[in-house]
Amino acid sequence: MLPNKQLRFNKDGFFKIVQFTDTEYLDDDHGFNEKTGKMMRDVIRAEQPDLIVFTGDVIGSLRCVDPEQTFRDVVSVAEQFKIPWAAVFGNHDSEAGITRNQLMDVQLSHEYCVAKPTEENLSGSGNFVLKVMSREEKASAALYFMDSGSYSTLGHVGGYEWIHQDQIEWYVTQSKNCTDNNEGISLPSLAFFHIPLPEYDEVWDTKICYGEKREGVTAPRVNSGLFTAMLEMGDVMGTFVGHDHGNDYFGDLHGIKLCYGRSSSYILWGKEIPTGARVIQLQEGVRSFDTWLHLSDGTVISEQPEHQPVGKS
């Protein structure tokens, strides 16, 4: 186990992340959990990641009598391999009779979990930043984790929740601190949350994207401004979400890559798309990242199909 749970670039200067999203474990009665668990173990063995990230809907909202144990069953895959991991929560995670704060306590109780408690009086549960250290023991990259909530609490708005203003202010403060501690140069950074931003629709409609869009982008109905804050801070190179099981595309909007993971769930909600994971690789000292998909059948997709924006051939 890493001393003080500190993340580091490896001896070759790389740091690899495997993103699992929407695993949606249930009280298993159709073999879904077993199949998802096997897929995760196969991907981990093949990719040998330095960090595993679960981007929400770790457990399902239906047929989940013991949500704490079900959550532990999912993350036991990472624990089994003794690999550092962290999770953000999705809309389904708090629908099974357990609160997000309780789930955060469950998460933090695991030996290889590297998540951190959310600051008091901050919206959501699971807002934290992790630094990736260089071989010279200097912070060389930052990973932001944010709780995108569940459903709107404003009756006249409806739909899904959004990342709140105090969370955005928290991100800006953390970003400034990282920059100040890096001689005024922003750290190459990534951000992980569950529900996509409204800009995920914009990038598909206006920019060249790579991957598939088999369902609509179910973003919040209001735009709270997180993308603008990241653009102004100049540190976040890419965001990674789940939520929409049929989508796995990414595209560059104003210098930030907006990326979907590949759904890790065998509960397909009518979207016939093979399950798998997204892999993300950082290189020390480089302000960019590589990403590819690793599917349940072992296929690695390094070049996803190109999608031209609306109105262009």
Residue range 221-234, pLDDT digits in tens: 999 999 999 999 99
- At 253, the pLDDT band (50, 70, 90 cuts) reads very high
Q: Is the pLDDT of residue 244 over 70?
A: yes
Task: Give the burial class of 311: count Cβ atoms within 10 A of its Cβ; 0-12 exposed, 13-18 middle, 19 or more buried.
Answer: exposed
Asked if pLDDT for residue 210 goes beyond 60, the answer is yes
3-state helix, strand, coil split of the chain in percent (to 5) is 25, 25, 50
pLDDT digits (tens, 9 = 90+) for 59-86: 987 668 889 999 999 999 999 999 999 9
Confidence of residue 109 (pLDDT cuts 50, 70, 90): very high
Overall average pLDDT of the 263-291 stretch: 86
pTM across the whole model: 0.95
**Confidence category of residue 155, pLDDT binned at 50, 70, 90:** confident
Burial of 33 (0-12, 13-18, 19+ CB in 10 A): buried
**Tens digits of per-residue pLDDT, 2-29?**
556 899 999 999 999 999 999 988 876 5
pLDDT of residue 1: 44
* Per-residue pLDDT at 193 exceeds 90: yes
Closest C-alpha among 194, 280, 276, 285 to residue 238: 280
Tokens of 131: 């630094």
Query: Does the pLDDT at position 144 exceed 70?
Result: yes
Q: How far apart are CA 140 and CA 131, in angstroms?
A: 7
Residue 99 vs residue 273, higher pLDDT: 99
Tokens of 281: 């690789």
Choice among 31-35, 115-119, 160-164, 213-217 with the minimum mean pLDDT: 31-35
Alpha helix stretches (DSSP H) within the chain:
32-47, 67-81, 100-108, 165-180, 199-206, 226-233
User: What whole-number distance in Å separates Cα of residue 92 and Cα of residue 188?
Assistant: 31
- 133, 11 contact by CB (below 8 A): no
What are the chain's domains?
A: 3-307 (3.60.21.10)
pLDDT at 313: 41
As a whole number of angstroms, the distance between CA 2 and CA 17 comes to 16
